[in-house]
Structure 1
Amino acid sequence: MQLQVQGAAASRRRSTLLFSVVGRLNYAFEVSRHQEEVENGPSLTLTTIVATTSAKIEESPSHTPTPTVTATLATTPTISNGNSPDGTSDILSALKPFLEDLGLVYFYNSSRINPTQGNARIRKLAQLRNLALTPLYKEQVKVTDETTVLFINDVSACAEDILELALQRRSLNADMTCAMDWTYVGPGPTFYDIWIARTISGDSFFEVGSDGNWNSAWNLFWNAPGTRSRYDAQQPFQVFACWNGATAFTAAPLLHGLRFRDTRKGECFQGEPQLFCKDMWSRGFRKIAVVPSVNLEYSDEKAADIKKLKGYVSDIVQKQEEDSTIDWVYDPPEQVRCMPTWDKQSWRPWNETL
């Protein structure tokens, strides 16, 4: 799909690309909320959206008042729907002709895998994520090491959120970029993916009390001033692990054998996204970053609230004069916080069982 479009008045290539292709790639799916609990597992079925993309972007000079961007995008939406009884499958199947009219190759499958029943929750979730990537694994789509894979959980997102993750991955030369996801357990938002996400020092994004309390949830990156400074400035920052509702990562490790997996014997019990990041580090893909200009929530109503509070991507990037850079750290933390349950925490070697 070849797009040649005139950008808005913004001169930065990032904003221009977002405004250029947002109309064409604005696919939105209303899906069941995934309420992930460390001990009890998700209460509802997980629905995942994956798009593999590769793009060649021709930049205009930064001083051009209305720059033109030419983008060649090969986009393949792949949706893997879990054991969902609410009609989601019918809706996702009905999307096929509309997406094909846009020139997209669309893969949809449903599965009876149900992470909410029985044991082996992480193994089942890993199976669902791998199922969504089947077209890539089987080479049903054209994929190279330069391809970007987009995973979208059951968040309410704008197209510009997902495009920003993909573009920041390329701009930062990152192996993986993640959003910030939120939930409203009270009048204000709380960072959601606390069980998965780990800072570049291996710690959680906020301190969970030894008794499992979240009294310090408001105090993000309390022991990482450098990370906190970049977060406050809405600039990308490096982490050890993240997922946070939506992520963009290079297809390269997948093409060379990386898969989502369960925990191994003797390994800290953790979610499959954290294991995925851990395995990326072990394979040399160590440039993982959170993009705090992308803020997501799990319902349309609260997603609108978080945008009002944190800002829309298009507004944030226009206020930032320069593209972000990261001084990448290539040495992993010696230890990472292990949190199989909120009240059982310890520090374990980052490469445990590898």
Structure 2
Amino acid sequence: MNDIFFCRNDILELIYQSDIQGSDITCPLDFYTTIKANRKFKFKFRDTWVSRDLNGREFNPNMNKLVSHTESKHRFLKNLPFQVQCCWNGVAVLNPNAFYGNTSIRFRRSKKEKSECSASECSLLCNDFWQKGFRKIVVVPKIRVSYMLKDAILSNKRYSDEGLFDTDVDEKIRYIHGPKKYFCKGLEAKNEIHPNNPGVWYEYSTNGTEVL
């Protein structure tokens, strides 16, 4: 968990969704707000460096264009959990089995000696999950967390206005295979918080991307 503002029931919902979806990584959406000319606020997605959809593409900060993958977009617009290639988004429920055994996963930096793209440690965690066969990664869009109190306060109205899941679509995800590559933006410079390298399409698993 990052230094976020959250509601306790949201964390319980993440754990619940992790259980019913059988997912290995389960995330909310993290956001910030901007004020438009008419003084109305607008939610924008924050963790674009890490999150990748099932086309391997970055999430869009514009919540109306969040993902490029068609089925994911359909589920997102209905406020339903959807499958992704990677996420963190402020907090994640992780399958603990990935951290045990002789080939356990750890948070790490990129392997420069192997010319690995210098992605976020959270992106590399996703890639390692894929490599080790933990490939069910899910975003729960009705759960939203923020890094600033003003944004958390504004989100209260969204929670009161927004309904529950659309009942004409199954809440349970039907998992499909992941993309062969994902779009990676590297960060090499010191004391920087934004990627400073051009994006590249990077093959993140040598064991294929099938989801079983």
TM-score normalised to structure 2 length: 0.80
Note the 1:18-29 alignment, pairs <5 A. Answer: none
Structure 2 Cα separation of the partners of residues 267 and 335 of structure 1: 13
Structure 1 Cα separation of the partners of residues 50 and 165 of structure 2: 31
**Matching residue of 1:346:** 200
Give the residue type in structure 2 aligned to 1:167. Answer: Y
Structure 2 Cα separation of the partners of residues 218 and 302 of structure 1: 18
Structure 1 Cα separation of the partners of residues 50 and 6 of structure 2: 20
Q: Which runs of 5+ in 2 are unaligned?
A: 36-40, 187-194, 207-212
**Matching residue of 1:246:** 91
1:292 equivalent in alignment to 2:137: no
1:188 CA displacement: 1.5
**Matching residue of 1:159:** 8
**Matching residue of 1:181:** 30
Judge conservation of contact 2:117–2:184 (CA < 8 Å) in 1. Answer: yes
1:185 CA displacement: 4.3
Judge conservation of contact 2:79–2:165 (CA < 8 Å) in 1. Answer: no
**Matching residue of 2:150:** 301
Structure 1 Cα separation of the partners of residues 179 and 169 of structure 2: 29
1:290 CA displacement: 0.2
**Matching residue of 1:51:** none
Question: Residue deviations 1:255-290, cap 9 Å, x none?
Answer: 221111110110111111111111001111000100
Q: SS of the counterpart of 1:184? A: strand
Judge conservation of contact 1:281–1:332 (CA < 8 Å) in 2. Answer: no
Structure 1 318/237 Cα, relative in aligned 2: closer, same or farther at 3 Å? Answer: closer
Note the 1:71-82 alignment, pairs <5 A. Answer: none
**Matching residue of 1:269:** 118
Query: What is the root-mean-square deviation of aligned Cα atoms in Å?
Result: 2.4
Judge conservation of contact 2:78–2:165 (CA < 8 Å) in 1. Answer: no
Q: SS of the counterpart of 2:14? A: helix
Note the 1:48-63 alignment, pairs <5 A. Answer: none
Residue of structure 1 aligned with 2:82, choices 205, 216, 237: 237
Residue of structure 2 aligned with 1:336, choices 182, 185, 191: 182
TM-score normalised to structure 1 length: 0.49
Q: Which runs of 5+ in 1 are unaligned?
A: 1-151, 207-213
Structure number with greater Rg is: 1
Q: Which has the higher contact order (CA 8 A, sep 6+)?
A: 2
**Matching residue of 2:53:** 199
Judge conservation of contact 1:165–1:177 (CA < 8 Å) in 2. Answer: yes
1:306 CA displacement: 2.1
**Matching residue of 2:191:** none
Question: Residue deviations 1:210-259, cap 9 Å, x none?
Answer: xxxx7x675211x3221111111110000111000111111101122111
Give the residue type in structure 1 aligned to 2:78. Answer: A
Note the 1:103-252 alignment, pairs <5 A. Answer: 152-186=1-35, 187-206=41-60, 219-221=65-67, 223-252=68-97
